[in-house]
Amino acid sequence: MFQVSMITYSGNHYRREIYPWNFAKNNEEFKKIVKDIRPIGGTTNTYEAMKLAVKLMETRNKTIPTLVMVVTDGRSAVDPKEPSQQLQRIPNTWVFAAATGDPHLANK
């Protein structure tokens, strides 16, 4: 058994959508929710999303392995290294970052 939380986000005014712990009751519901995710648009601020993920970790059930998914559509305007490292140091936790879009445009 895992706990799953998911964050989709954008930059500019830092728009985001937070899927709290155990937002899906089963695998089919999870697949439907993920399939229905649409881009928010704007710039990308993975740093803020990862900081939010660190905060979310405070509310998890620490006895259950935890998976944090961060879904991005571009290169972060601010380097997310610091909060990413904080997440990686949390015991019994896996961090999954998924990027969408054309990888050839990542540095443009």
Is residue 87 situated within a structural domain?
yes
Whole-angstrom distance, CA of residue 73 vs CA of residue 35: 15
What's the whole-model pTM score?
0.75
Is residue 76 situated within a structural domain?
yes
Whole-angstrom distance, CA of residue 14 vs CA of residue 7: 12
Task: Tell me how many degrees the CA angle 83-97-106 measures, rounded to the nearest 5.
Answer: 95
Is residue 35 situated within a structural domain?
yes
Q: What is the three-state SS of 25-64?
A: CCHHHHHHHHHCCCCCCCCCCHHHHHHHHHHHHCCCCCCC
Per-residue confidence (pLDDT) for residue 76, from 0 to 100: 81
Is residue 108 situated within a structural domain?
no
Residue 108 has pLDDT above 60, yes or no: no
Is residue 93 situated within a structural domain?
yes
User: What CATH number is given to the structural domain containing 67?
Assistant: 3.40.50.410
Is residue 86 situated within a structural domain?
yes
Structure tokens at 19: 């899927």
Number of structural domains (the chain) is: 1
Per-residue confidence (pLDDT) for residue 82, from 0 to 100: 95
User: pLDDT tier at 31 (50, 70, 90 boundaries)?
Assistant: very high
Q: Could you list the residue range(s) of the whole structural domain that residue 50 is in?
A: 3-102
Is residue 85 situated within a structural domain?
yes
* Burial grade of 32 (CB within 10 A; 0-12, 13-18, 19 or more): exposed
Is residue 77 situated within a structural domain?
yes
Q: 4-26, pLDDT tens digit by residue?
A: 788 877 766 667 788 888 888 89
Whole-angstrom distance, CA of residue 31 vs CA of residue 36: 9
Whole-angstrom distance, CA of residue 4 vs CA of residue 69: 7
